[in-house]
Amino acid sequence: MSDADRLRRTHLRAATRGLLDPRLVVERWLADAQSLSLLLGDEPGDADCQDAFDVVAARGRLRRADAELLWSLKGERTLAWLERTIQGDAGRELVRSALRVPDVAGWLRQAEQLFEECEVGVDFAWRAEVARTLITDLDDAQLVELAARQCDLADVPLAEQLAQAQDWLTRHPETFLAASVWIQSVGFALREDLAESDANLAGTSEKFAILLDEIEEAEADLSLENIPALPSVITQALFQTAGGTVDVAEDARRPSLPDEAREGWPEIYRIAAWRDLPRVSAAAAKATSQRGLSDRLCWESPDGTRRASLRMRDALDAGGETTITLAFERLPDSDELSLEDLVGKSLTLGGAEARIERREVGGEAVACAPIVVERMLAGTDEYLVLNVAGQTWWPAWS
């Protein structure tokens, strides 16, 4: 992937749906810079530390901006003002003053807090706003530190702290996912030839590439792109190789599988892959289903005659829990077999227990079981194991 492609992800959903507006991002940078020029005029001697920090950061940001966008927004005059302001002894004083602002320890505290809030599901819009603020502040501080280095005012402690902050961001990129659309827009607002034209400046954009990698991965996970569809024949063979019959007598409620057998299970069957599900409502589950994601989670009976699949589109919220349906069907080669013999049998799926019921759908009798999502995901096993009447069913793809 080229450096430009690392920042411009044209295939992500926000880009394909036309949600990105890099022009707006540059407009915002310009408007802030213009406000600074109004604030300080040609006498930057009046600037306090906060003004100085903004001026130095704004200059770095606009230097890094896509030249065509900047030109189309008539931003050259503003950039020229910023360049003038940073020059000479007065400029050095401004940079020196700006260096007094960034409190990276405070940034880390706030980022940790946002990380924890993600776990407890704080309002999405608020998280997006905080994430955007945190990224902007870190970016500004890195631009100020770079400017300091370039005018022989290198601040080693600050550089080390910023490296720690960047390291934290690299290890916890998911913390910032709420600001995904804005991050993608920034990627498009940066100049394509940044790496060739100014390697140091390009270094400050690395965090956006890291965050974009995370967005791409999250999107691929949600759309199951990362997960190869294993034919059920292969998964079944893997089970058999590993001797994967479950000792139901030992623990019928929570069947465990040999480690070798688990390795053959597609990633989507991992409970961790669904860890966000308890926070979502039935409406969200239905929306997930409409995108065709979850209905592909299926299991086949050991004799290969039946299939069970989760139907998220039937999700219901009641009593603080979300219930979805596990529907049973005959596989094509077993038409003569009835589903009726499943009715009344008990099953476990993850940590959820249920009994198979007979329901009338469109005048036809079907076998299905209500599964409480929260209990399903509370299973102690790492994978979503379906056990029907003491038999483990194989993971399969519809």
Partner 1 sequence: MSWKEAFGPQVLQPRWSGPALQFFSDANALCRHLAKHMLTHPESLAWSVAFSSLDYVVPADDRDRLWRMRQAMGQQSEPPPELVAIYRDAIREAWEDAEQMDWIVTIGDVLVGFGTSAVLVLAERDGQRWFQRTAFLPGHGEPAEPRRELRSGRDASVGPYEPIHVRLLKRRAQAWTAQQRHYYLVFRVAVQAIRERHWTRSEWNENARPCDYALLKSKLPSPSQQIDDWLAARQRCGRMP
- Binding residues for partner 1, per CB under 8 A? 19, 21, 24, 27-28, 30-32, 34-36, 38-39, 48-51, 53-54, 73-75, 99-104, 106-107, 109-110, 124, 126, 129-130, 133-134, 137-138, 140-141, 158, 181, 280-281, 283-284, 286-287
Cα(13)–Cα(16) distance, integer angstroms: 5
First to last CA, the chain: 33
Least CB distance to partner 1 at residue 24 (A): 6
Residue corresponding to tokens 């009447």 = 389
357 bridge partner residues:
368
Task: State which H helix or E strand residue 235 sits in.
Answer: helix 232-241
- 396 and 298 Cβ atoms separated by less than 8 Å: yes
Closest CB to partner 1 among 142 and 301? Answer: 142
Least CB distance to partner 1 at residue 131 (A): 9
- Widest distance between CA atoms in the chain: 90
Closest CB to partner 1 among 182 and 397? Answer: 182
Closest CB to partner 1 among 1 and 318? Answer: 318
Rg (CA), the chain: 28
Least CB distance to partner 1 at residue 244 (A): 36
Closest CB to partner 1 among 227 and 284? Answer: 284
Least CB distance to partner 1 at residue 140 (A): 8
Closest CB to partner 1 among 88 and 106? Answer: 106
Nearest residue to 26 via CA among 190, 143, 181: 190
DSSP of 92-139: HHHHHHHTTS--HHHHHHHHHHHHHHHHHT--HHHHHHHHHHHHHHHH
Least CB distance to partner 1 at residue 383 (A): 25
Least CB distance to partner 1 at residue 181 (A): 7
Closest CB to partner 1 among 14 and 343? Answer: 14
